[in-house]
Chain A
């Protein structure tokens, strides 16, 4: 009996020693498929691509229905078309902006400091500035300083939109300094899918953006906004279409507008936009619309027979625009007009329209004669802003410009009395950060610069 017991004890001892040492090896719980750290050149393109997909996707698509560039005609987009936008509609884009764009840029900036890579930091700062600004433009007060800290701060405080606009300007200032640094241990190149690591182009883009965000405050600062914009442009803004900051998609890794039309197909061209182009003989109509002759769907009327978006911005490999030469020239034209420099306004306007046509690769002598031949006698703010509205097709900027200036004169969608002026906060923020999220806002409320 003793032998048997000894035998059993020995058996268990063997099992215990064989099994316990290696069997629960902690290596087993390390994910073999995903790294715990990655380099800056992997974070930058991921952030830029996610940003581009959101700008060309939800942000651009929703706002384009409200600016009547597009019209939601079916399913969920027929609700958004009539401003029935819900907290669930903004959830994905908000979360992408924070968790797949700003978070990665934040990590990238910390790494750039550690590694002595001001060029990377400068690029990340410009992209971050655009990200924060568009969040303010669409949601007004949003978290930034306390945001992006993961489990260290589960309920980030919201900051006022005006304060964030100041942060945007200083981010861009710091970016310009960093981009101008003579030494950087690492610099972006092809991993920068917006500007291919062209530091001069980034500095120019930063100046154009500074002008954009300065001019945005027209309602608050009056002509000082315009003067400020001109000052920033004078620091060296974008000088040609080649300097446009944009993300070009690739056939098979499709542009978000193409993907939406291909997989969902619930939006059409907007009647206001198509009618304007038709009335002016705009040569871009057949590039912007798939079938310009089919026209657009009037706001809130859901005409499914209207044209689908066309190949220039709605093709597989179409770009998503962030800031362009044409926009820079429109900013200059508007700012000059507001500061009463009409010759400069007219010249800048004409250059802007020509740049916009060249961007699409079309020309039309009659159209150019009628629309890009303004003089100090003929130029008006409406002309500048209407052309900007046409040229900024698919960009969130068009919605911001309309809110800021009321140009073009859009009528609310059929059956509605007013046009939405901002996005509702996303459901996740209401559910998980309700103590900080401003409550009671509706899509008809206005952001701080929209007065």
Chain B
């Protein structure tokens, strides 16, 4: 009988091509209970055709006789059945252990999940799109255990920074490798100008079209990434893009459009009780005063004799009230400057396939308006993925993506042209818009006075009016990028596969910015052009042997070669002193500055991998790699390393699997060698001399026509060795109740040693740093991923997902005699790597404390500081931005095609320097300065003691000896708030502005509806869904600045700094998806 049906089906197969398609219907039920199964996947094997069962377990699908229908359903054994003459096919599925899940590992090699001896976590393309983010890196937020994402700001086109399992380098890259279809792609954040000022630049992962992502596989430890070698020392994000399918001839079209509204979220609270001035005297804009320690606004009025003629206010100059009944002056909500940014994103993809080839052409366009007026970001994506079979043995795949991205970016940060700096320092009595409200964006009367000079709250000095900044100092960038790969696979025989895959990522990034004459950053006006040409080439040649040895014992062996190169060629030309006003061409300048740099490196590697398995139960994988890098000196530039990982599926040995449906233990150990993070650091070079003093831009040689060179201040080192990162990982993967509950736990212990860094040295050596192998870092942590489907009934299902990450990072060693290394920030408040503490610890000044930890209060009645806390004169470390733990908690409901999903994000710990508030104390615009001023206060602390000579009494350990709790009441005014140590701007107070960024955040919430086939059956649509979503709409945090998911440096190692960063955003989106 069996034979007969086989023959029959073969006969039928022969006639397949001539048989017409028909509609097959049927019901899918649980074999044991007879209950219908909803949402089971029904596909025609080898084609794109697919559907899911309805609420009553029924399905309907087009198929031809001879096609094989495959039914899959989580927790049940797959069922296949060939379509016969009947139009009805029912399936009775039995529960089973379904673990032929495959995961994508290094080099795109797919492996059975159970065979993998290290942690791999996958994220589906739908989840990425559902995040509603422009930047792929930001989309990964809260979704993967071990991955920490930090956005930079709410500026359109801004960057996001991410790490996997902590940081591994001091000066080098700490971010994971991103690989798209086998091509490592660039994720640099290239800067023009100062790292603490300028604009929010993109990290280049923003170019990736998220709509075209099929799947992301996150590789975390050294064993997982060993085959990528040095470039993936920080983990890897392996992206597989969508493809057409080879098989049945079929064309499908997907279209989606999203409309998103972005608004500012949390902002620093500004006061509106006190006007511009000092010591309660009003000082108007014409005085140039920067302070808001003037009189209470209800004691001031407008001078009617100057109404209409006073250029700083339409109602007239501000004067003290002469009568109680005079109208009080207006105050302004400076945040009215921001707008609701509207973003549109469209995506169209056409997939086609036949029995030899497949093709997918995709097109995406996004136009995002920022919350900052005139700030925008556009992205155009065009992609082709094509695959074809050249005979039986050869497969050829080509992928090509073109990206055009860029926009108009606005000055920010520590920058006299920065938007938040000018905005939040503006006195509440001054209207930056000059009565025009949001029309000020397009009306120069807001920011230019009739005489052509700048209208701002400091009479043209100080800071640019934000409306000036957006109109007069914009930066435009334009990126043209091509990412392409060719993959050629040759299978000469069943046990051998050869694959060659070259890929390239090339882009040009052209930037142009101008500063109009009168801009505070450069009053003479400036134009610059900054052009980057970045290229990454990567080629892998792989030979994989899979000899058949025995039923119980499997072996596969891979040999490979990897070649890659990197180059970044930059040309920067700056013209200062504009000759013709408002004409912004590089020719229109008095003096010029220029620089050119050509960075280049190459790597070459040979590697091997051997995989063994025994009875599909015990797996062992060994890798080895020999790598050479041009960044290291000859003789030290080849380095070997490798990994071993093993997986034991112990549930195979257990008989009674009623509750535990699957159990696996994994263990791995890997070592990765890394080249130098510095280019050209094996020798010392002279550079065309740059002259400056840290306060000013200075200038570069040639001085007039005289050339001049200085020895570079960073010494090279001909003795550099490769860096080394080792990582141990143990984990367990348990699934219960027929996989309805799964728990995945990992422990890891990573050590990075011989880290190459620019070791700071005393200036008296004649240099300020030397590149050396010196530092070591450790990251230890646990990751827990739990997912469950507590309810799954006919009409309703409920899913829960939780991922928990706890990483402990410690800087073990920096260099002999060096306890801390500057990463970024400002004198007095900055981010450092500090020996014995977590990376990027905030460093600065704080209060003097006695042995018991009490703040020491001045007890000398003759001192002007009597009763005030005393500042410790020595800088010290505070906290790091690295959190105690992070947790993503997601849940979703599905009721008859109506879906509801939300993702919560919990973070405990992680600190930020609120430099914005620290400075606003000085200027008197922060609400807290209004609450505190002109009040009497007894500072918490203990009184200092002095000896007869007037010296402070110290104990043996050097801590001040105190004499009981402070009881001295002091009067708090700007003498303390602005001109004392209450702030970190005039004063040196870092400590009071180091704030926790713990948060509870509703990262995303969405409500969607997929129209059932029954409703759209008569339309041309194959599928139709609408989705309403919101992101970041709820945020609880003790942080008092902008949304603490921010960083002044953007995508860089110096983290935990907020100095007039742009506010973050919350958004609301409507998405429509249509399939044809």
B590→A252 contact, CB < 8 A: yes
Residue-wise, chain B 296-332 has the 8 Å CB interface mask toward A (1 for contact) of 0000000000000000000000000000000000000
Could you tell me if A28 and B601 are in contact, using CB atoms closer than 8 angstroms? yes
CB < 8 Å neighbour of B709 from A38, A143, A252: A38
Q: Which of B119-127, B685-693, B962-970, B1064-1072 contacts A (4 or more CB under 8 A)?
A: B685-693
Query: Which of the candidate stretches A42-50, A176-184, A226-234, A358-366 sits at the interface with the other chain?
Result: A42-50
A36 touches B591 (CB 8 A): no
How far is B654's CA from A75's CA once the two chains are assembled, in angstroms? 72
| A107 to B711 Cα, complex, angstroms | 9
Contact between A431 and B696, CB atoms less than 8 A apart: no
Complex partner residue of A53 from B287, B698, B817, B875, CB under 8 angstroms: B698
Q: Indicate whether A167 reaches chain B with its CB closer than 8 angstroms.
A: no
CA distance A100 to B827 in the complex (A): 21
* Chain A 56-108 residues near chain B, CB threshold 8 A: 57-58, 74-76, 78-79, 86, 88-89, 91-100, 102-104, 106-107
| A151 interface neighbour in B692, B760, B770, Cβ under 8 Å | B770
Contact: A46 with B701, CB < 8 Å?
Answer: yes
Interface size on B, residues (CB 8 A): 93
Q: Is the CB of B761 within 8 A of A432?
A: yes
B695 touches A263 (CB 8 A): yes
**Residue A4 CB within 8 A of the other chain:** yes
Question: Is B543 part of the binding interface, using a Cβ–Cβ cutoff of 8 Å?
Answer: yes
Per-residue CB proximity of A19-59 to B under 8 Å, as 1/0?
11001111011111111111000111111011001100110
* Binding site secondary structure of chain A: helix
Determine whether A428 belongs to the interface, using a CB cutoff of 8 Å to chain B.
Answer: yes
What 0/1 pattern do residues 181 to 206 of A give for CB contact below 8 A with B?
A: 00000000011010000000000000
Q: Tell whether, in the assembled complex, residue B686 and residue A38 are in contact, meaning their CB atoms are under 8 Å apart.
A: yes
Contact A156 B701 (CB under 8 A): no
Q: Tell me if A131 counts as interface (CB < 8 A to partner B).
A: no
Cβ B693 vs Cβ A154 within 8 A: no
Count contacts on A: residues with CB < 8 A to the other chain: 95
Q: Does A95 contact B763, Cβ atoms closer than 8 Å?
A: yes
Q: A28-B630, A29-B679, A252-B577 are in contact. Are A100 and B697 (CB under 8 A)?
A: no
- Contact of A8 with B by CB under 8 A: yes
Look across to chain B and name the residue whose beta carbon is closest to the beta carbon of A432. B762
Q: Which of B596-643 contact A (CB under 8 A)?
A: 596-598, 600-602, 604, 606, 628-631, 633-634, 637
Contact B828 A156 (CB under 8 A): no
B689 and A305 contacting across the interface, CB-CB below 8 Å: no
CB pair A26–B634 under 8 Å, yes or no, is yes
Stretch with Cβ within 8 A of B (4 or more), from A9-17, A238-246, A393-401: A9-17
Contacts of B767 in A (CB 8 A): 99, 103, 150-151
- Are A426 and B763 interface neighbours, CB within 8 A? yes
List A residues 358-414 near B (Cβ within 8 Å): none
* Complex interface: chain B residues within 8 A of A23 (CB): 563, 602, 604
**Are A98 and B766 within 8 A (Cβ)?**
yes
Q: Does B247 contact A (CB under 8 A)?
A: no
Chain A residues, CB < 8 A from B561:
12, 15-16, 19
C-alpha gap A35/B400 in the complex (Å)? 40
* B367 CB within 8 Å of chain A: no
Q: How far is the CA of A103 from the CA of B591 in the complex (A)?
A: 29
Q: Establish whether residues A103 and B711, one from each chain, have CB atoms under 8 Å apart when the complex forms.
A: yes
Q: What is the minimal beta-carbon distance from B517 to any residue of chain A, in angstroms?
A: 12
B278, closest chain A residue (CB): A302
- Determine which of A8, A30, A57, A250 lies in contact with B695 in the assembled complex, contact meaning CB atoms within 8 Å: A57
CB of B492 closer than 8 Å to a CB of A: yes
**B701 in contact with A45 (CB, 8 Å):** yes
Residues of chain A within 8 A of B606, CB atoms compared: 16
Cα separation A426 to B524 with both chains bound (whole Å): 33
B680 near A: Cβ within 8 Å?
yes
With both beta carbons as reference points, the residue of chain B lying nearest to A76 in the complex is identified as B986
B684: interface (CB < 8 Å): yes
Please tell me if B355 contacts chain A, counting CB pairs below 8 Å. no
The answer to whether B766 touches A256 (Cβ under 8 A) is no
In the complex, A15→B986 CA distance in Å?
Answer: 63
A429 touches B685 (CB 8 A): no
Bound CA span A23–B875, Å = 48
Beta-carbon contact of B768 and A15 below 8 Å: no
**Residue of B522, B761, B770 ringed by the most chain A CB atoms within 10 A:** B761
Provide the B709-738 mask, 1 if CB < 8 A to any CB of A, else 0. Answer: 111110101000000000000000000000
Per the bound structure, the CA–CA distance linking A250 and B708 in Å amounts to 15
Asked if residues A106 and B766 are in contact (CB atoms below 8 Å), the reply is yes
User: Which of chain B's residues have a CB closer than 8 A to the CB of A24?
Assistant: 602, 604, 628-630, 637
Choose one: A8, A99, A262, A433; the contact of B543 (CB below 8 Å).
A8
Asked if B820 lies at the interface with its beta carbon under 8 angstroms from chain A, I say yes
A→B interface (CB under 8 Å): 1, 4, 8, 11-12, 15-16, 19-20, 23-26, 28-38, 42-47, 49-50, 53-54, 57-58, 74-76, 78-79, 86, 88-89, 91-100, 102-104, 106-107, 142-143, 147-151, 153-156, 190-191, 193, 250-254, 256, 259-260, 262-265, 304-305, 415, 426-429, 431-433
Given contacts A149-B766, A262-B523, 11 further A-B contacts (CB under 8 A): A38-B686, A42-B709, A53-B693, A58-B693, A86-B828, A99-B711, A103-B710, A147-B765, A191-B708, A259-B697, A265-B461
A sample of 17 inter-chain contacts (CB < 8 A) reads A4-B492, A4-B493, A19-B563, A23-B602, A24-B628, A24-B630, A35-B686, A38-B709, A42-B686, A53-B692, A79-B987, A99-B765, A103-B710, A191-B708, A254-B699, A263-B522, A265-B461
